[in-house]
Every structure is written in C-alpha cells, then in structure tokens.
Amino acid sequence: MEAFNEIFQNHVLVVSLVACVSAQLLKLIIEVVSHQRLNLHVLVETGGMPSSHSALVAALACGIGQTIGWSSPAFAVTVVFAVIVMYDAAGVRQAAGKQARVINQIVDEFFNDQEFQEDRLKELLGHTPLQVVAGAALGVFIGLLAAPTY
C-alpha cells in the first residue's frame, strides 16, 4: 500500500495526469458550448480540441525538465517521446480516421438496401495540427504553473 501512495507523490506524474484530465474537461466544455448539450462520452473519446495526449506528454516533458534538468538525457527522451506522440496524433491517427470515413461511406452506398452486420468504423481518431498545438500548449502551461517546490 505504501508503494501505491508513493506513486501519487510523484509530482511529474500527477502534473501530467492533471494536464490530461484538464484537456478532457475542456473538450466537454467546448462540446457543451458548441452543441448546447451535455455529452459525457467526450470525456473518454479520442480526438477533439484540445489533444489530451499532447497535453499529457508536454506536461511530462516539462515536469522532467524542471525536476531533473533541461539538459538531462531524461528530458531529451521525454521530448522525443512527446514529438512522436504528437506526430502520431496529427498524422497517422488522423489519416486512419479519414480512411474510416471513406470506408463507412462506401459501405453505406454499397449496402444501401441490404442489411450489413458489422459496426461502423470509428472516424474521429486523430487531431488536427491546431488541436495538437493547443494540447501541447495546455500541457506546458500546466507543467510550468505547477513547478515543483523542492
């Protein structure tokens, strides 16, 4: 049980998770404002503004830089990790979402009058570059705001 408590004393981990949760809550607020309805599924879905993945990894890199040092190898690793995650969110996952949209359209047209038993493919997988940048900015902001007090 003591090891479990130590996990939540890890400042870098807590700040990273706060950034991720903050991004998800912002998605909910944006959903309510833009569609005038409460859709709690937004809290657990991928995609949308801002990118919670980007917020998480940006806060992680910022926390490591503040805690261990901006010139440390650990900071370098987390920055590279963050870039890969953000590139994947805006590139690969967004392309997969576009492909899913086209496949769903083809299935809809091909099976117009027939019953098709398969579920539709999930279309909102990735992020636009703006959503990724907004998530990263949120993560850095939260990371810098919650600087460790060692």
Mean pLDDT of the chain: 86
- Over the stretch 5-30, which tens digit does the pLDDT of each residue have? 888 889 999 999 999 999 999 999 99
Output 100 or 130, whichever has higher pLDDT.
Answer: 130
The CA distances from residue 134 to 21, 49, 97, in Å, are: 14, 7, 20
pLDDT band at residue 121, thresholds of 50, 70 and 90?
low
Supply the DSSP string of 108-138, one letter for each residue: HHHTSSS---SPPPP---S--HHHHHHHHHH
Type of residue at 61: A
Q: How far apart are the first and last CA of the chain?
A: 25
d(CA 92, CA 96): 6
Does the CA dihedral 124-130-136-140 come out positive or negative? Answer: negative
pTM (predicted TM-score): 0.79
Contacts of 114 (CB under 8 A, 6+ apart): none
d(CA 68, CA 66): 6
